Structure 1
Amino acid sequence: MVFKRRDRRPIWKIVVDFIYPRGGWGRAAQYVKHRLRRLPDTPEKISRGIAAGVFTSFTPFYGLHFVIAAIIARLMRGNILAALLGTFFGNPLTYIPIAVAALGTGYWMLGIPFNAGLLGFETVDTPRICGLGCQFSNAFYDLWHNFTAMFTPEMADWRGLRNFYREVFYPYMIGGVLPGVICGTASYYLSVPLITAYQKRRQKALRAKLDQLKKKTRAVDDAP
């Protein structure tokens, strides 16, 4: 395979690189920005793709963000690669703020009192409950346990998955729409002028190089 890595990384290395990529998140952000600017498409289409990716970061469909962002970008007639890069708006540095915004908005829209203990903020008025990590763990355990139960005498148990859906997934899905639309719209209007200016500078630099090449070619042709 042409794109296959020569050095096979162990699982722990993949996890570490995901949480803190080689060179730091600053370098990773610079790489994403550089790739977005150099995409061969109009600023509007690239920006619509970015908006789709940013919006997708506020959805609870972890593991499917690339697929969802690509579908939304296609519906919006945006650049699909820009949408995939835009999903990096959701990363280990922003997951907590995104979760706070999405869950808080979701509980507010559903008219349900929000318990800050869900995010690990335990106070006198917010007794300790199963937090986000615990909720995700219980949901995945239920999925695996109930799958294996089909082949063993074990009984299926959906309590953890039901609690996860009621306390996390549904409020997150509902509440992520508003901040997702706000951030996606803001990213669009910020991206259009930046990408437009970059593309104009790049085109000007390419024309200057082409003119220099033409001058050198003429000088060679005119030489005795």
Structure 2
Amino acid sequence: MLFRRRNRPTRIERLRVAVWPRNSWARSTRYFGKRVLRLTATPHAIALGFAAGAFASCTPLVGFHFLTAFALAYLVRGNMIAAALGTSVGNPLTFPFIWAFTFKIGQWIIHGRAPKADPHQVHQQFQQGLFEKSLDALWPMLKPMFIGAVPLGLVVGTVSYVVVYKSVEVYQRRRRNKLADKGAGKHGRLFPPPGNTVEEDGSA
């Protein structure tokens, strides 16, 4: 097949690229931003879908963020592709802070106090626990994270909705105006004004 890679990437390589971009984070952010803006749907549906993905990324359901985002987007009638792109809010750079905040918020809701939690320490303990501990051993840590994910996810989702809605609305309006101007210019070239035609005939 034309343009197919000579050496197909392995599953581990594809997984690594999915969670850690091959290029810089700034370039990857611009890429995801353009993907969101170019979706063919209403700004409301795109923003709802992205917000669903952003909310899902705040949960400790590592490995199930896409499924969670799709389920939430289906419930709120958001765009599914935007939901998948919204999960990019949770990435190796933001997960330490997301998990630390959800843990602290959950502890504050349950016990009325928020313990001091180092983001990198919480991230390391949670990541190690996923592979080394059972669900029963992880539950004391997962419970406050699930509870804390709700208010944090609502805040992140709301902010994401507003930003994405405004961005998509401006992009689509500029695109419509550009297409309208382009169509008007083309129409003008095909059908020149009558006055100019008369003058040209008279001068000839």
Same fold, TM-score > 0.5, yes or no? yes
The gaps in structure 2 that reach 5 residues or longer are 198-204
Q: Does 1:133 align with 2:107?
A: no
Residue 200 of structure 2 corresponds to which residue in structure 1? none
Superposed CA RMSD:
2.8
Deviations 1:129-152 (A, max 9, x none): x8223212213xxxxxxxxxxxxx
- Spell out the pairing of 1:33-48 with structure 2 (5 A cutoff): 33-48=33-48
Q: Which residue of structure 1 lines up, in the alignment, with residue 138 of structure 2?
A: 164
Read off the aligned partner of 1:190 and give its amino acid letter: V
1:172-218 CA distance string (max 9 Å, x none): 11111111001101111222222111110011111222223334444
Question: Which aligned pairs between 1:6-21 and structure 2 lie closer than 5 A?
Answer: 7-11=7-11, 13-21=13-21
The aligned amino acid for 1:30 is R
Contact 2:99 2:119 in 1 (8 A): no
How far the C-alpha of 1:113 sits from its partner, in A, is: 6.5
- Match of 1:200? 173
Contact 1:117–1:131 (8 Å) recurs in 2: no
Asked whether the 8 Å contact 1:70–1:84 carries over to 2, the reply is yes
Compute the TM-score of the two structures, normalised by the length of structure 2.
0.81
Whole-Å separation in 1 of the counterparts to 2:25 and 2:159: 22
Amino acid corresponding to residue 205 of structure 1 in structure 2: K
| Pair 1:109–1:2, CA change in 2 (3 A) | farther
Give the Cα separation in 2 of the matches to 1:86 and 1:173: 19
Relative to structure 1, the CA distance from residue 83 to residue 192 in structure 2 (aligned partners, 3 Å threshold; closer, same or farther) is same
Corresponding residue number in structure 2 for 1:179:
152
Aligned to 1:116: 117
Residues 78/133 of structure 1: CA separation in 2 closer, same or farther (3 Å cut): closer
Please state how far the C-alpha of 1:2 moved relative to its aligned partner. Answer: 10
Q: TM-score, normalised by structure 1?
A: 0.75
Instruction: Name the residue aligned to 1:102.
Output: 102
For the structure 1 residues 216 and 7, does the alpha-carbon distance in structure 2 shift closer, same or farther, using more than 3 Å as the test? farther
Is this contact kept in 1: 2:104–2:117, CA < 8 A? no
Q: Which consecutive residues of structure 1, in runs of 5 or more, have no partner in the other structure?
A: 122-129, 140-159
Number of paired residues?
191
SS at match of 1:39: coil
Which residue does the alignment assign to 2:65? 65
Which residue does 1:147 correspond to in 2?
none
TM-aligned CA deviation for residue 166 of structure 1: 1.9
Residues 6-27 of structure 1, C-alpha deviations (whole Å, 9 max, x = no match): 5311355335434531221111
Q: Aligned partners of 2:39 and 2:171: how far apart in 1?
A: 11
